[in-house]
Structure formats: structure tokens, C-alpha cells
A and B are shown apart, each in its own frame.
Chain A
Amino acid sequence: NAGVMQNPRHLVRRRGQEARLRCSPMKGHSHVYWYRQLPEEGLKFMVYLQKENIIDESGMPKERFSAEFPKEGPSILRIQQVVRGDSAAYFCASSPPMGPVVGEAFFGQGTRLTVV
């Protein structure tokens, strides 16, 4: 059972380009979370999705950022017209449907986005 897979591990984009970050959750997991970690800071919640539904996007910037988790395929975090301030590590976590231990989440290795 492979863990949470994120790709690419490193992504370099020029200002104004689009960045697409992918996350494949663990097998059997239907909940996906995206977090952003700026240098020297903790992880900050961005969005929580279930298959085909956005459950909580209270941490997402209002503009340029979007996320989806389609019925088939990985979850995608899309950042349009990137700016230097978007440079960060973006982590994805997945968890199974609600069970005895609520919210046991496993993290991927992250995608490090650098905007030049």
C-alpha cells in the first residue's frame, strides 16, 4: 500500500505562469487536505476535500488558488499567475472515511514550489 504520493517533488515557475500540484491519496482514503508551509513557519491549512466535493476551503486565498478532487484521478492544487510569495512547500495529506480514530492523516513528501 503506497503512501500519499505527491508530484512533482520540485517545481520551478516564472512569475505569471500556472502551477499544478498533484496528490494521490493512500488507497481507500477519500479525504484529502492541502497545507502550505512557508520557510521557517508551520503548516497552514488550505483546503479539505472529499471526492468531488470541497468541504472546507477557509484557508485558500480568494484569488488564483483552486483545488479539486475528481471522482477518478489525483487531487489537484492549481495556482494561477504565480507570484514570488507563492514559493513554499505544499503538503497533501489523506485520511480514511470517518472511523474509530477520527482524522488519522498521512502526509506526502510535499511539492516545493519556487517562483523565479
Chain B
Amino acid sequence: KNQVEQSPQSLIILEGKNCTLQCNYTVSPFSNLRWYKQDTGRGPVSLTIMTFSENTKSNGRYTATLDADTKQSSLHITASQLSDSASYICVVSASATNKLIFGTGTLLAVQP
């Protein structure tokens, strides 16, 4: 069964600190993995997208890693800001179907 699991479910950090979010997936055949940020009441916005051959990709203070052998990904946020408070969703695309399999997300709260 195609599944995407994320941890932790929620996280509270102080402004300026770093954090790492985890994603494990069992989607097969794998096409790509992306991380989305969803602010409360808004649609998800793509942060990074990685294919099978990529193992790291950065977007400003966001750095995503991918280990296709262990089927794990992480999203590292550096020097967090209050505006980083959101739900971060790991999404995996299955080859040939264009179907996106969503994790339930990690709810991040950055406190001053």
C-alpha cells in the first residue's frame, strides 16, 4: 500500500533555532518527492521537488534530503522565523499515474 508517514506530528521551536522534519514513504514505483508548506487557511505551496537521482536540494533556508534506498526524506529549516509557522507536508508522486500521495504533515510553531 502506498503510504507517506511524517514525524513528528507537531513541533515547537524558538525563533532562530534549526529543526529537521522526517518523512518515510512506501510509494512504488517512485517518481519524485516534494515538500509543501501550508499556511493556515491557504493552499499548499511547493518548497522543493526531488527526483530519484537527487539526494539534496535547497531553497533558501530550507534544505531537503532524499535517500531513495531507505525511502526516507528530511526537511531541514535553518534559523527559523515566525513566518515559518505552518504545516509542512511531504508528498510522493507515483510513476506513470501522476497521483500525489500526501503525508499528514508536521505542524511547526515558531515562538519568539
Binding site for B on A (CB under 8 A): 4, 31, 33, 35, 41-45, 48, 55-56, 91, 93, 95, 98, 101-110
Instruction: Please report B residues at the A interface, Cβ cutoff 8 Å.
Output: 31-32, 36, 41-46, 49, 51, 89, 93, 95, 97-105
A31 touches B98 (CB 8 A): yes
Q: What residues of B have a CB within 8 angstroms of the CB of A107 in the complex? A: 36, 43-45
B residues in contact with A33, CB < 8 Å: 100
Contacting A101 at CB < 8 Å: which of B45, B51, B89, B104?
B51
> Contact: B43 with A109, CB < 8 Å?
yes
CB distance from A73 to the nearest CB of B (A): 21
* Contact between B99 and A45, CB atoms less than 8 A apart: yes
On whether the beta carbons of A104 and B31 are closer than 8 Å, the reply is no
Measured in the bound complex, the distance between the Cα atoms of B51 and A97 in whole Å is 17
A48 to B98, CA, bound (A): 8
Taking a contact as CB atoms closer than 8 A, the residue among B41, B99, B104, B105 that contacts A48 in the complex is B99
For residue B16, give the distance in angstroms from its CB to the closest CB of chain A: 28
Instruction: Point out the residue from B43, B44, B98, B103 that lies within 8 Å of A95, measured CB to CB.
Output: B98
Is the pair A103, B102 in contact by a Cβ cutoff of 8 Å?
Answer: no
Contact (A101, B49) CB under 8 Å given A109-B43, A110-B42, A110-B43: yes
